[in-house]
Structure 1
Amino acid sequence: MRKILILFFALGSMTLAEPALSYCYWGTQPKNNTYQINIPSSLTIKPAPVGGVLARHSQKVGNAEAIFCTQGDTANMTISHGLQPSTIPNVYQTNVPGIGIRVVASRSILGEQSDGYSFPGQFVFSGWQTPYLPTYIYVEYVRTGVAVGSGLVTASFTAKYILPSNSGLTPSVMSYISTGSTKLENNVYFSSCESQEPTKTVPMGKIAISNIKSSTTQEQRFSFEVRCRGMQPTTPLPMKIYFEGDSKASGLLNLTGAGQAGVAQGVAIELQNDKGSKLPFNKPGAINMDWQRSEIDSEVYRFSGVARYAASGGEIKAGKADATMTYVLDYN
């Protein structure tokens, strides 16, 4: 008798350890559990800020199949594509600079993305609900950087909607598979802009203190060109520029090592563009560069400026009078 009782209790423990079944049932059972996502051969990029959608493809899937589950049950969304994550949530890097890819699904009959799933992600049932399985799959091409390229983007992925564990329903997994590629046409953004002269030296010469006091210092003119690649616009895009350096006001650059022994005092370098505008040292004040010409694979812009020594206040003393600044291109 004693052994029988021990065996009875052991069996009871095993029964209690059995995981509870999720209580789910179909409102409308799906006829298919695998859908092929047909990526278009080409899409045209539209303007968007960093993090915004440059281009989008949507495809209807299923027939608004519904699932009922109790509170706390969880459906999981997974995606596999072999891509590296970007700095933007659920957006993955592609082979084209400045463009990432994101896959989302709507659970609305009309396909609104405001009521959707993200891949990867989760959906936790809250009370009795009727969330439809994915009704539309969206493949989004997201801007991830300032420079935006163009070209063939591979969109091979397998996205899955996995029903709550132990629901007992069939099918238990819905799969959405893409094996295509899309050529993204970029007529909006440059893929890169660079100067042919990474460092520009402007010889200022030796200037008498008397000329600085009388504001008769000689002007030194300088210029440089910037080549921007990635597209051939019919109308050149506006290219703006501003500067970074030790400056307390627009158009005035402090000397390197100001206040140190051997450095001139009471002197700064006054800077303007060739139209007489003071050079800005912040992005809001950025000024336009002049478009020069189109080349085979680029658009060429030119900046022309003028530099001269000027009094900055206080006693003027002789000494070394060098300064440096960096230009920043703004083609957002």
Structure 2
Amino acid sequence: MRYLLTLLFALGGMTLAKPALSACTWGSNGAPKNDTYQINVPSSLTISRVPVGGILASHSQKVGLNDSMRCYTGEKMATMTLDIGLQASKIPNVYETGVPGIGIRVLASRTAPASREDYYNFPGQFLFDDLTRYLPTMIYVDYVRTEIAVGSGQVPATFTARFILPSNSGLTPSTLTYTSTGSTKLENNVFFSSCESQEPTKIVPMGKVATSNIKSGTALEQRYTFEVRCRGMKPATPLPMKIYFEGNTDANGMLNLTSAGQAGVAQGVAIELKDDKGTKLPFNKPDAINMDWQRSEVDAEVYRFSGSARYTASGGEIKPGKADATMTYVLDYN
């Protein structure tokens, strides 16, 4: 009987010890020394030239002492939350700042030394495996280009980001908090904030042309110009402004007639389009051509496009009729 009681007590001792086991353990540095960090964004940054979706400017700040943890059993999902009070942009995890074309994103490196290549998204989740993993080692506040037009000005960076350990990790602290209450003035020296034409619609009168002149290639050219004003910066050297066109076309420099093939519309005719240097107008972005800078105004840089249009034979029998066509120009800047 004494042997049986000893065995029962031993089993009871094992049963009592089991709930004390943790699903996770801290790494060699032990528990983080702090559970709250103040992120101090700089008062100003100068943005760089990047495509939409690229990082215009960034601030990074080291947090913690390369703290790490390892999980073994049970739920191992860490959760990252972000309270930022801004509207989400079309780019994942990027939020509109109120300054045109500039969004904000918060990331945390999960490597030591810190690297942007492996990161925690705020908001997001991360599934811990049974390897030792680092908690956030660096916080990145990225200013991301969200649109073609990019402005400048004071950009708020008021947020609270939280890294919440797996719910049954058994570790304390269970939440790490990163708070910013500042703002940054972004200086824009490389982008226009907007570009627009002084004439939203440009009509080029083509007049009446004899079919014989079209056949012989002697139809008169009709010349036209329009200007574009670009705001938002005062570059020391005018930036290149490119233009291309969209419309019903089979090749660069040729515009098909509206309602071609229908009754009352001229046949065997198209409109030949060139710029003032004799280059065929491009109908795709890779072939976009430069516009000519004209002058600086108080708040804008002004560019001009000059071109010509004339009727030309497009193949087949030429028959008289209505010969209108339309195209749209697309400004390609920044």
Q: Which amino acid aligns with 1:26?
A: W
Q: CA deviation at 1:61?
A: 1.0
2: CA distance between counterparts of 1:204 and 1:21? 87
Alignment match, 1:77: 80
Q: Provide structure 1 residue ranges, at least 5 long, that are not aligned to the other structure.
A: 1-14
Q: Which amino acid aligns with 1:73?
A: K
Alignment match, 2:24: 24
2: CA distance between counterparts of 1:20 and 1:316? 93
Q: CA deviation at 1:22?
A: 5.0
2: CA distance between counterparts of 1:47 and 1:20? 55
Asked if 1:94 is matched to 2:93, the reply is no
Aligned partners of 1:45 and 1:55 also within 8 Å = yes
Q: 245, 263, 266: which one pairs with 2:265?
A: 263
2: CA distance between counterparts of 1:22 and 1:196? 69
Listed as ranges, the matches of 1:81-230 within 5 Å are: 81-127=84-130, 129-230=131-232
CA deviations over 1:32-81 (Å, ceiling 9, x no partner): 11110001011111121211111110001111122222155111111110
Q: Secondary structure at the match of 1:170?
A: coil
Aligned partners of 1:21 and 1:166 also within 8 Å = no
Q: Secondary structure at the match of 2:213?
A: helix
Alignment match, 1:12: none
Aligned partners of 2:230 and 2:301 also within 8 Å = yes
1: CA distance between counterparts of 2:146 and 2:157? 16
Q: So what's the TM-score if we normalise by structure 1?
A: 0.91
Aligned partners of 2:22 and 2:171 also within 8 Å = no
2: CA distance between counterparts of 1:112 and 1:265? 64
Q: Secondary structure at the match of 1:55?
A: strand
Aligned partners of 2:69 and 2:135 also within 8 Å = yes
CA deviations over 1:19-41 (Å, ceiling 9, x no partner): 99751222221121111000101
Q: Secondary structure at the match of 1:187?
A: coil
Q: Which amino acid aligns with 1:303?
A: F
2: CA distance between counterparts of 1:24 and 1:126? 10
1: CA distance between counterparts of 2:305 and 2:21? 71
1: CA distance between counterparts of 2:142 and 2:42? 12
2: CA distance between counterparts of 1:66 and 1:201? 67
Aligned partners of 1:251 and 1:279 also within 8 Å = yes
Q: How many residues align?
A: 314
Q: So what's the TM-score if we normalise by structure 2?
A: 0.90
Runs of 4+ in structure 1 displaced over 4 angstroms?
19-22
Q: Provide structure 2 residue ranges, at least 5 long, that are not aligned to the other structure.
A: 1-14
2: CA distance between counterparts of 1:22 and 1:101? 37
2: CA distance between counterparts of 1:174 and 1:249? 60
Aligned partners of 1:102 and 1:141 also within 8 Å = yes
Q: Secondary structure at the match of 2:294?
A: strand
CA deviations over 1:286-322 (Å, ceiling 9, x no partner): 1110011111111111000011111111111111111
Q: Which amino acid aligns with 2:25?
A: Y
Alignment match, 1:298: 300
Residues 21 and 188 of structure 1, relative CA distance in 2, 3 Å threshold: farther
Q: 316, 319, 323: which one pairs with 2:318?
A: 316
**RMSD of aligned Cα (Å):** 1.6
Aligned partners of 2:109 and 2:136 also within 8 Å = yes
Residues 168 and 287 of structure 1, relative CA distance in 2, 3 Å threshold: same
2: CA distance between counterparts of 1:176 and 1:125? 21
Q: CA deviation at 1:222?
A: 0.3
Q: CA deviation at 1:106?
A: 1.0
